[in-house]
């Protein structure tokens, strides 16, 4: 290899024990040749990578050779990266300039897709779309500026770990001679797919295939890797660690990584035969993952502007998992009642897909489980039809933290439970029902209570307001359940007496265990009778109050709803909100059969109110100082503060099950143009 | 065994690393290399004075200490345990810290029955505030401590139906010992302890259920209450020797001579049961520095782990450290019975020794969540540049420079050819698991 001092290629990267070493070497016109032909993870202390470093001075241009007596150095990876970066920044400006000559836009986008180079036998794949373009837009866009100007970013910059990672990234780009953004853009490309194929002999085959829009950078990257790892020596591919297939040379990085670059494709796999399969699919029109109809269906279901999407061949997955696949009867009775519909849909599914959409208003993940036929009649109880439009659905509490809503035909599920739940789960449910029956006095939990319960069970939560100096620690939000009643007028009275009995029993049991007992009371609020219980007033000098002062349980029947809450104020908030319902004119939107909503501002308020115990936990468990713990919580709270709310909904559609999780951001610019 | 006469360094009994290490081990769990050097430079008298008086607490300790209210309110016993261990490690007043563990063992109260971590922490505060103070005020405070009230059923005791548990343990285990009281004394004293309840985490005296009639305890009669019985206990001639024996067993020898017990009992009585004065006399005594006392006790798990962490400046994960102590046989806040831990030879068996070995591995491995030592810092502190230096440093720091020929040879052979950092880890580990290090 001939190297001129005034023209240094990025591939002639430098590494070594010190900047001084390298400076001297450069001054004399040599290269400081780092051969990492045998990088290996030290299994004892896997933070370290061992490299055989051979330092060789060359007086003039000439071939660099391996020094057989190379000194063995142990290098910590982050420090190594930082070291390479510093040297590159100081000594290799030419290399950086050379990398910038590769203009990303110079190469036309390819019509080929990464899934064209993955065999149809793959059972799962994740594809990132237009990663390079999105990265470019992100880098140059207002969001990046916003991030760099944000308090969060400034806070992160004070963190040594963040800076170490940043320096490490710079080091990697220095070693390859390619700007880090350019490097990531090349690897993300037009589209990149990660796929998995079961392998009878043990670990599955894995692929990461990228169709890049920057083949020239990919080639340079490949050359650098080959040079760095000793896969090419003196211009010749090492025949022991490379092989040519269909005119394409594949290389072995280590015993679990093989790669090839051909045309505008970068393929990385964990087995040589898997790499060969990819290469042989070049120019093929059948046998590719992209030729599979379910795969195409999955793609057609993804949002047009999805950043990433995934496909799973559930049929094949079932075959692979055999008896580990979901059992017919679930072992957990409660999970069966709540999540049985989702589980049953998964059992019937033949294909699953998901997509990730990052847009200006938030980040959402959509899941879809395709089922072969309609939902069996026996499973309809999991997806009870929406109730008639009711103003209750619009009920919103002040200081609302969020809610969970599940719509089921509870009584039907209860009476048919032996068909869905294992013997162990049935025993759990029976024990629970017995306890509830005891608490409810004369009411049988199944036959009396559930038979009168409507379908839509909502659990709402809102923040409590504590008087100054009288806050318990931790400060928990209030929460409560709202359940429609079939026959509120008559059944409501029985429930009221049952709740009086329940609070009495709870109080008695607490007293028997040396726990504070409850004082029972009945209060009328806006015409509603509240069955209340509260703990005796704390001593005047008690601060902070013990955590049981978060609770003053209460129950009431309000209109046609049974409400039981962790505090009396929660019930009053519900009654206040219900009072204005009739004046609301908008029709109530139907919720999904399962729905979760968390409001981030209130979540942040809860965390802030409990910062002291949260700091204590970090200080005790991680040995951090108060300032360090505070810093980490600040970052989390700022992240929470950036979001508006988190919503999850799950519902049955005609051909399957659809679920969406969305994190709504307060305000963020769009990250990418919509896909045409 | 020697007497309580003050130890004076001499050519026959010089103030050397062995004696300085012994003092710091017994009275401060253990010490860093810098602390050993400082003790060697200051001499025994100044070192004992510093141990008794303590030094200003560092910020790291004060930050942890400020978590008390939050821990008490949130009520996690695992976190409470971890919090205590971390403070034992970071305290600049290690003798007082050690005495809190001593009092916890002496007035053994378990969260198993109390079922309230907040009350256990409150009791710990009682031990901390009276750690080196007078035994009388401590006994009074413990008698009215909510955790103790629940633990020994004082809250069930009322006029007409006194519960004898507390009175019995007060006499037998806390102050006099068997043979110095009668059943009648217990029954009468139990009446004096009626009236107490626990309300909202505090002791609450209800005169309505207090037996205010006349009682006769130790031959003295009166309408006694809680404080009166405590006063009668302190006036009892068996009290001072009882406490003196326990202090001597903890600090000097597991089987102290009768003369020594009597001598320290006299000191206690003359100093109005001041624990600080008793310890001052004890820690400066010839008996304390005698050959019979040296390495004569088996370290408790707390002494072992906290001592190692203090000596090595290790960073601990509090709750995990608490759990590790439990595996070694000392679950803080959960002594096995009202008698406390049996201690002595019972600390060591195949299971607990394995736990000590594991703890040593976690401490010296350096990359575990359970604890980590700063090897670079130790290398700098000891100016260690090679394997030999690493061995010497570990033996000096943890074994008073006297590892014994067999251990020294084995470790030196093991670390030969290792770099200084690896050799230091190996040497520290070998020292921590050696038989000698298990002895205080």
Q: Does a structural domain hold residue B318? A: yes
From A472, A613, A626, residue closest to B63, measured CB to CB? A626
DSSP string, A218-280: HHHHHHHHHHHHTSEETTEE-TTSEEEETTEEEEEEETTEEEEEETTEEEEESSHHHHHHHHH
Query: Looking at the structure, do residues B248 and B148 belong to the same domain, yes or no?
Result: yes
Q: Please work out, in degrees rounded to the nearest 5, the angle formed at the alpha carbon of residue A594 by the alpha carbons of A593 and A597.
A: 130
Q: How confident is the model at residue B199 (pLDDT cuts 50, 70, 90)?
A: confident
Instruction: Please give the Cα distance from A420 to A418 (Å, whole number).
Output: 6
Q: Looking at the complex, report in whole angstroms how far the Cα of residue A83 sits from the nearest Cα belonging to chain B.
A: 20
**B232-284: pLDDT as tens digits:** 999 999 999 999 999 999 999 999 999 999 999 999 999 999 999 999 999 99
Query: Looking at the structure, do residues B391 and B292 belong to the same domain, yes or no?
Result: no
Query: How do the domains of chain A map onto residue ranges?
Result: 110-130+189-291, 375-591
Burial class (CB in 10 A: 0-12, 13-18, 19+), A322: exposed
**Best B64, B67, B73 residue to mutate vs chain A (most A CBs within 10 Å):** B73
**Which of B239, B272, B296 is the last residue before a domain boundary?**
B296
CB B416 within 8 A of CB B403: no
Q: Does a structural domain hold residue B138? A: yes
pLDDT score of A307 more than 80:
yes
| Integer angstrom CA distances of residue A184 from A132, A179, A197, A211 | 7, 9, 26, 13
Query: Looking at the structure, do residues B289 and B166 belong to the same domain, yes or no?
Result: yes
Instruction: Please give the Cα distance from B161 to A136 (Å, whole number).
Output: 83
What does the pLDDT read at residue A201? 67
Q: How confident is the model at residue A161 (pLDDT cuts 50, 70, 90)?
A: confident
Highest mean pLDDT among A67-81, A139-153, A321-335, A517-531: A517-531
**B72-88: pLDDT as tens digits:** 888 889 999 999 999 99
CB pair distance less than 8 Å for A539 and B115: no
**Which of B235, B261, B296 is the last residue before a domain boundary?**
B296
**Residue A92: closest CA among A195, A11, A188:** A11
Q: Does a structural domain hold residue B63? A: no
Query: Looking at the structure, do residues B390 and B418 belong to the same domain, yes or no?
Result: yes
Q: Does B265 lie at the interface with A, CB-CB under 8 angstroms? A: no
DSSP string, A465-525: -PPTT--BSS-PPEEEEEEEBTTHHHHHHHHHHHHHHHHHHHHHHHHHTTPPPPEEEEEEE
CB pair distance less than 8 Å for B79 and A617: yes
Q: Does B198 lie at the interface with A, CB-CB under 8 angstroms? A: yes
Q: Does A7 lie at the interface with B, CB-CB under 8 angstroms? A: no
What does the pLDDT read at residue B208? 96
Query: In degrees rounded to 5, what are phi and psi of residue B75?
Result: 75, 30
Instruction: Please give the Cα distance from B315 to B363 (Å, whole number).
Output: 8
What does the pLDDT read at residue A321? 83
Query: Looking at the structure, do residues B363 and B274 belong to the same domain, yes or no?
Result: no
Greater confidence (A105 vs A188) lies with A188
Q: Looking at the complex, report in whole angstroms how far the Cα of residue A151 sits from the nearest Cα belonging to chain B.
A: 26
Q: Which residue of B has its CA nearest to A616?
A: B67
**Best A620, A622, A624 residue to mutate vs chain B (most B CBs within 10 Å):** A620
Greater confidence (A235 vs B384) lies with B384
Query: Looking at the structure, do residues B309 and B283 belong to the same domain, yes or no?
Result: no
Q: Does a structural domain hold residue B86? A: no
Q: What is the mean pLDDT of residues B55-60?
A: 95
Q: For B86-191, where are the E strands, in sequence order?
A: none
Q: Looking at the complex, report in whole angstroms how far the Cα of residue A46 sits from the nearest Cα belonging to chain B.
A: 11
Highest mean pLDDT among A196-200, A436-440, A493-497, A593-597: A593-597
Q: What is the mean pLDDT of chain B?
A: 95
From B83, B198, B317, residue closest to A622, measured CB to CB? B317
Query: Looking at the structure, do residues B281 and B140 belong to the same domain, yes or no?
Result: yes
Query: Looking at the structure, do residues B279 and B423 belong to the same domain, yes or no?
Result: no
For the whole model, what pTM was predicted? 0.72
From A544, A619, A622, residue closest to B69, measured CB to CB? A544
pLDDT score of A103 more than 70:
no
What does the pLDDT read at residue A587? 47
Burial class (CB in 10 A: 0-12, 13-18, 19+), A534: middle
pLDDT score of A63 more than 50:
no
Instruction: Please give the Cα distance from B402 to B397 (Å, whole number).
Output: 10
What does the pLDDT read at residue B367? 53
Is this prediction's ipTM beyond 0.85? no
Query: Looking at the structure, do residues B149 and B283 belong to the same domain, yes or no?
Result: yes
Q: How confident is the model at residue B366 (pLDDT cuts 50, 70, 90)?
A: low
**Best B68, B74, B119 residue to mutate vs chain A (most A CBs within 10 Å):** B74
Query: Looking at the structure, do residues B185 and B266 belong to the same domain, yes or no?
Result: yes
Residue A584 has which token pair? 């609301």
What does the pLDDT read at residue B166? 98
Q: How confident is the model at residue A42 (pLDDT cuts 50, 70, 90)?
A: very low
**Residue A281: closest CA among A110, A108, A113, A111:** A113
pLDDT score of A45 more than 50:
no
From B59, B63, B155, residue closest to A619, measured CB to CB? B63
Which residues of chain A from 468 to 497 reach within 8 Å of chain B, CB to CB? Answer: 472-474
Q: Does B58 lie at the interface with A, CB-CB under 8 angstroms? A: no
* Total number of domains constituting chain B: 2
Q: Does B60 lie at the interface with A, CB-CB under 8 angstroms? A: yes
Q: Which residue of A has its CA nearest to B320?
A: A621
What does the pLDDT read at residue A54? 29
Query: Looking at the structure, do residues B410 and B425 belong to the same domain, yes or no?
Result: yes
Parent domain of B164: 134-296
Query: Looking at the structure, do residues B269 and B363 belong to the same domain, yes or no?
Result: no
**Which of B296, B331, B366 is the last residue before a domain boundary?**
B296
């Amino acid at each position: 290899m001939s190297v001129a001092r005034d023209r240094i290629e990025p591939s002639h990267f430098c590494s070594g024990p010190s900047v001084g070493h390298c400076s001297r070497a450069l001054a004399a016109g040599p290269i400081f040749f780092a051969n990492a032909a045998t990088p290996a993870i030290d299994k004892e202390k896997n933070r370290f990578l061992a490299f055989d470093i051979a330092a060789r001075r060359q007086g003039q241009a000439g071939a660099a050779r391996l020094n057989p007596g190379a000194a063995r150095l142990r290098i910590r990876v982050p420090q190594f990266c930082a070291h390479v970066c510093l040297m590159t920044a100081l000594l290799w400006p030419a290399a950086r300039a050379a990398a910038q000559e590769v203009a990303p836009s110079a190469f036309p986008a390819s019509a080929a897709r990464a899934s064209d180079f993955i065999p149809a036998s793959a059972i799962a794949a994740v594809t990132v779309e237009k990663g390079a373009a999105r990265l470019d837009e992100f880098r140059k866009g207002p969001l990046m500026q916003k991030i760099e100007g944000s308090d969060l970013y400034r806070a992160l910059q004070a963190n040594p770990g963040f800076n170490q990672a940043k320096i490490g990234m710079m080091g990697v780009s220095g070693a390859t001679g390619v700007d880090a953004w350019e490097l990531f853009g090349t690897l993300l490309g037009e589209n990149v797919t990660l796929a998995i194929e079961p392998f009878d002999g043990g670990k599955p085959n894995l692929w990461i295939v990228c169709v890049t829009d920057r083949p020239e950078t990919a080639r340079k990257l490949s050359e650098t890797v080959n040079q760095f790892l000793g896969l090419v020596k003196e211009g010749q591919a090492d025949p022991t660690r490379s092989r040519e297939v269909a005119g394409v040379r594949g290389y072995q990085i280590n015993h679990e990584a093989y790669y090839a670059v051909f045309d505008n494709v970068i393929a990385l796999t964990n087995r040589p035969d898997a790499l060969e399969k990819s290469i042989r699919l070049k120019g093929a029109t059948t046998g590719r993952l992209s030729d599979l109809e379910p795969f195409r269906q999955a793609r057609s279901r993804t949002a047009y502007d999805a950043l990433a999407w995934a496909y799973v061949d559930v049929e094949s997955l079932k075959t692979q998992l055999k008896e580990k696949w979901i059992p017919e009867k679930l072992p957990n009775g409660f999970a069966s009642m709540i999540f049985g519909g989702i589980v049953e849909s998964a059992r019937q599914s033949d294909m699953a897909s998901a997509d990730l959409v990052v847009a200006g208003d938030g980040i959402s993940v959509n899941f879809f489980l395709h089922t072969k036929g309609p939902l069996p009649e026996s499973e309809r109880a999991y997806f009870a039809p929406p109730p008639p439009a009711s103003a209750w659905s619009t009920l919103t509490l002040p200081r609302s933290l969020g809610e969970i809503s599940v719509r089921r035909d509870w009584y039907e599920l209860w009476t048919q439970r032996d068909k869905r739940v294992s013997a162990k789960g049935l025993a759990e449910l029976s024990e629970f029902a017995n306890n509830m029956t005891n608490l409810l006095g004369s009411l049988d939990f199944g036959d009396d209570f559930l038979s009168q319960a409507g379908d839509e069970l909502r659990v709402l939560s809102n923040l409590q307001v504590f008087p100054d100096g009288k806050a318990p620690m931790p400060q928990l939000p209030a929460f409560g359940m709202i359940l429609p009643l079939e026959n509120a007028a008559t059944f409501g009275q029985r429930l009221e007496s049952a709740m009086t009995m329940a609070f009495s029993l709870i109080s008695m049991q607490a007293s028997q265990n040396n726990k504070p007992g409850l004082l029972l009371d009945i209060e009328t609020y806006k015409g509603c009778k509240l069955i209340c219980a509260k703990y005796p007033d704390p001593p005047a000098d008690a601060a902070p109050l013990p955590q049981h002062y978060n609770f003053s349980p209460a129950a009431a029947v309000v209109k046609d709803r049974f409400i039981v809450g962790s505090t009396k104020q929660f019930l009053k908030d519900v009654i206040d909100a219900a009072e204005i319902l009739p004046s609301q004119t908008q029709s109530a939107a139907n919720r999904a059969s399962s729905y979760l909503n968390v409001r981030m501002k209130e979540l942040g308020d809860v965390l802030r109110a409990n910062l002291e115990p949260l700091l204590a936990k970090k200080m005790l468990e991680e040995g951090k100082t108060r300032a360090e713990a505070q810093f980490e919580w600040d970052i989390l709270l700022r992240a929470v503060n950036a979001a508006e709310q988190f919503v999850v909904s799950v519902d049955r559609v005609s051909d399957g099950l659809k679920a969406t999780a969305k994190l709504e951001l307060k305000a963020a610019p769009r990250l990418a143009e919509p896909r045409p | 065994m020697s007497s309580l006469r003050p130890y004076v360094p001499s050519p026959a009994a010089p103030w050397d690393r062995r004696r300085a290490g012994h003092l710091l081990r017994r009275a401060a769990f253990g010490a860093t290399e810098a602390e050993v050097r400082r003790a060697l430079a200051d001499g025994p008298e100044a070192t004992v004075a510093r141990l008794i008086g303590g030094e200003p607490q560092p910020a790291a300790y004060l930050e942890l200490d400020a978590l008390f209210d939050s821990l008490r309110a949130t009520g996690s016993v695992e976190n409470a345990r971890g919090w205590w261990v971390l403070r034992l490690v970071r305290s600049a007043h290690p003798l007082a810290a050690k005495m809190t563990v001593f009092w916890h063992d002496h007035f053994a109260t378990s969260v198993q029955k109390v079922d309230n971590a907040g009350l256990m922490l409150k009791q710990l505060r009682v031990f901390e505030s009276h750690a080196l103070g007078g035994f009388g005020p401590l006994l009074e405070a413990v008698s009215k401590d909510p955790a103790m009230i629940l633990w020994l059923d004082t809250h069930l005791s009322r006029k007409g139906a006194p519960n004898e548990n507390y009175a019995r343990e007060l006499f037998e285990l806390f102050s006099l010992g068997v043979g110095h009281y009668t059943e009648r004394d217990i029954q009468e004293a139990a009446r004096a302890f009626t009236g107490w309840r626990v309300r909202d985490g505090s002791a609450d005296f209800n005169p309505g259920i207090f037996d205010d009639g006349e009682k006769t305890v130790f031959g003295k009669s009166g309408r006694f209450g809680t404080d009166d019985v405590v006063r009668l206990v302190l006036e009892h001639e068996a009290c001072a020797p009882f406490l003196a024996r326990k202090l001597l067993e903890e600090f000097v020898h597991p089987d102290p001579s009768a003369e020594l017990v009597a001598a320290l009992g006299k000191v206690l009585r003359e100093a109005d049961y001041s624990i600080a004065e008793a310890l001052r006399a004890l820690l400066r005594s010839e008996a304390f520095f005698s050959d019979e006392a040296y390495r004569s006790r088996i370290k408790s798990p707390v002494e072992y782990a906290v001592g190692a962490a203090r000596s090595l400046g290790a960073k601990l994960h509090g709750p995990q450290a608490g759990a590790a102590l439990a595996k070694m046989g000392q679950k803080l806040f959960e002594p096995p019975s009202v008698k406390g831990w049996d201690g002595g030879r019972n600390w060591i068996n195949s299971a607990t020794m394995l736990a000590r070995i594991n703890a040593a591995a976690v401490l010296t491995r350096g990359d575990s969540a359970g604890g980590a030592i700063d090897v670079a810092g130790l290398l700098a502190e000891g100016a260690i540049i090679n394997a030999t230096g690493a061995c010497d440093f570990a033996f000096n720091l943890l074994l008073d420079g006297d590892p014994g020929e067999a251990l020294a040879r084995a470790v030196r052979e093991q670390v030969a050819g290792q770099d200084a950092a690896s050799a230091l880890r190996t040497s520290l580990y070998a020292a921590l698991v050696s038989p000698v290090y298990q002895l205080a």
